[in-house]
Chain A
Amino acid sequence: MPWKKKDEILHDHNHDGIDRRGFLKCMAWAGTGAYCVMSGGVLKSYSLSRLSEMNPAAAKGELSFVQISDSHMGFNKPANPDVAGTLKAAVDKINALQAAPEFLLHTGDISHLSKPEEFDTVDQILKGASAKDVFFVPGEHDVLNDDGKQYLERYGKNAKGEGWYSFDKKGVHFVGLVNVLNLKAGGLGTLGHEQLEWLEDDVKHLKHSTPIVVFAHIPLWSVYPEWGWGTEDSAQALAYLKQFGSVTVLNGHIHQTMQKVEGNVTFHTAASTAFPQPQPGKADSPGPMKVPAEQLRSILGITDVNYVQGQHALAVVDSSLA
């Protein structure tokens, strides 16, 4: 993290006493993401912002990957005028991990306005990451104007339908779902009949002991429906996963970390690499939040460890990563 080494202003282009490095330093949440470790069929999630406090032995497992989300490339409002810089900061943190992650998951809102150059910039920055494979799902900002055609061409060549797919890594079954298309007036995120049928079929033949990781942009649980933070037909999707002992659901969209355990399912949302959004109901609207740097640490970037024991028995351990 080079901006920690020097405090002097190096490039003050706007003559406001802040250079890009200084700006990044101010933002405690810059470079946020979640480092996920699958150990004994159980997924643990750590905030990238706090990895320096982590005991390296705690991060050992059969599979590790990093979830990043909501990079909103192209956003340039005061809440964060340098979203490329904060995404690069996340990549720096990924590259500083002692155990390199197997791959990256990006849970959507790659771009801010679905512009080709915004996707290009993200692709270029992510090329600098130690993990070369990146698995995407689209956010609503990635499918503007063309119902996701460009997204599919770029990221969904091997996907089914409107971009959903699954893959296996070291015995873990990963499922990427699309819940940002065909949204109805007054409604929430939607998976739709075709995708739900595909999901039912996709997991039907798996052993019930197979750890499952489902990732999608909009939360698959009702975080705050008043702001559209939920998915209409997620209950049906989760019903197909009921028989599995270990299910982890990873989402983005709400630009803050949140966790919940329900039966055999652990839900996580990741912070945005771009800008924070208010806690549910704590503001008039879910728009970008401008907060003083010293407050940001208490608002974002702290992901506790969730530990879920397989086979219907459940244990949850919250840890401060110390």
Chain B
Amino acid sequence: MRKVLLVLSLAVITVAGLALIPTKQQAVQASTQATQAATAEVKIDNFSFGPAALTVAGGTTVTWVNHDDIPHTVVSTDGLFKSKVIDTDEKFSFTFTKAGTFPYFCGIHPKMTGKVVVQ
């Protein structure tokens, strides 16, 4: 995994380097790569987080989307992040930069719990 990350980072640096003398196509490619590599989604459905345990690479932006008829929140147990209320079809995003396990819960319905594992 580390090797992959190293290669990825090199690729990003290379792309960034190239960006100094950019062509339109390269810039689009770079941004597409970054988007694909660094986002993940957690669905809120039926008063539960899915997946309840999500594993991502460092730098990933995780987006929670509420599909319930009732509002929810996403609150880090360690105080790392705390969303405002997320109503039906609304979203909340947080970018994980540090490695570790980050448990969270819904501040309105605390029986709803989940965790993000950042490698």
Quick one: which of B84, B85, B103 contacts A185, CB cutoff 8 A? Answer: B103
Instruction: Pick from A155-163, A192-200, A281-289, A311-319 the stretch touching chain B.
Output: A281-289
**CB <8 Å contact, A114 and B85:** yes
Instruction: Pick from B15-23, B34-42, B64-72, B91-99 the stretch touching chain A.
Output: B64-72
CB distance from A63 to the nearest CB of B (A): 34
CB neighbours of B107 from chain A (8 A): 183
CB distance from B41 to the nearest CB of A (A): 20
Instruction: Pick from B5-13, B24-32, B54-62, B109-117 the stretch touching chain A.
Output: B109-117
Please measure, in the bound complex, the distance between the C-alpha atom of A78 and the C-alpha atom of B88, giving whole angstroms: 13
Give the size range of A's interface with the partner: 20 to 34
Quick one: which of A184, A186, A226, A287 contacts B68, CB cutoff 8 A? Answer: A287
**CB <8 Å contact, B110 and A141:** no
Known: A184-B110, A226-B111, A284-B46. A79 touches B69 (CB 8 A): yes
**CB <8 Å contact, B110 and A185:** yes
**CB <8 Å contact, B73 and A144:** yes
**CB <8 Å contact, A144 and B108:** yes
Known: A285-B46, A287-B68. A228 touches B85 (CB 8 A): no
Known: A144-B85, A285-B46, A285-B48. A183 touches B110 (CB 8 A): yes
**CB <8 Å contact, A287 and B69:** yes
**CB <8 Å contact, B46 and A112:** no
Known: A112-B71, A113-B85, A288-B70. A140 touches B113 (CB 8 A): no
**CB <8 Å contact, A140 and B108:** yes
**CB <8 Å contact, B47 and A286:** yes
Decide if A3 is an interface residue (CB 8 Å cutoff).
no
Quick one: which of A141, A184, A186, A187 contacts B108, CB cutoff 8 A? Answer: A141
CB neighbours of A226 from chain B (8 A): 111
Task: Count CB-based A-B contacts (< 8 Å).
Answer: 59
Please measure, in the bound complex, the distance between the C-alpha atom of A226 and the C-alpha atom of B110, giving whole angstroms: 11
CB neighbours of B87 from chain A (8 A): 113
| Mask: chain A, 51-83; 1 = CB below 8 Å from B; 0 = not | 000000000000000000000000001110000
Please measure, in the bound complex, the distance between the C-alpha atom of A228 and the C-alpha atom of B106, giving whole angstroms: 11
Decide if A188 is an interface residue (CB 8 Å cutoff).
yes
Known: A185-B103, A186-B105, A285-B46. A113 touches B71 (CB 8 A): yes
Decide if B77 is an interface residue (CB 8 Å cutoff).
yes
**CB <8 Å contact, A185 and B105:** yes
Chain A residue with the shortest CB-CB distance to B73: A144
CB distance from B79 to the nearest CB of A (A): 12
CB distance from A116 to the nearest CB of B (A): 14
**CB <8 Å contact, B46 and A228:** no
Please measure, in the bound complex, the distance between the C-alpha atom of A185 and the C-alpha atom of B76, giving whole angstroms: 9
CB neighbours of B85 from chain A (8 A): 113-114, 144-145
Known: A79-B69, A113-B85. A287 touches B46 (CB 8 A): yes
**CB <8 Å contact, A285 and B47:** yes
**CB <8 Å contact, B113 and A186:** yes
Known: A144-B85, A145-B85. A287 touches B70 (CB 8 A): yes
Quick one: which of B46, B48, B71, B111 contacts A186, CB cutoff 8 A? Answer: B111
Interface residues of A (CB under 8 A from B): 77-79, 112-114, 140-141, 144-145, 183-188, 226-228, 284-288
Interface residues of B (CB under 8 A from A): 46-48, 68-71, 73, 75, 77, 84-85, 87-88, 103-105, 107-111, 113
8 contacts between A and B (CB under 8 A): A112-B71, A113-B85, A113-B87, A144-B85, A184-B110, A185-B103, A287-B47, A288-B70
Supplied contacts A113-B71, A185-B103, A285-B46, 16 more A-B pairs, CB within 8 Å: A79-B69, A140-B109, A141-B71, A144-B73, A144-B85, A184-B110, A185-B104, A185-B110, A187-B110, A187-B111, A227-B111, A228-B109, A228-B111, A285-B48, A287-B69, A288-B70
Q: Which 6 A-B pairs have the closest CB atoms?
A: A285-B47, A185-B105, A285-B46, A228-B111, A144-B85, A77-B69
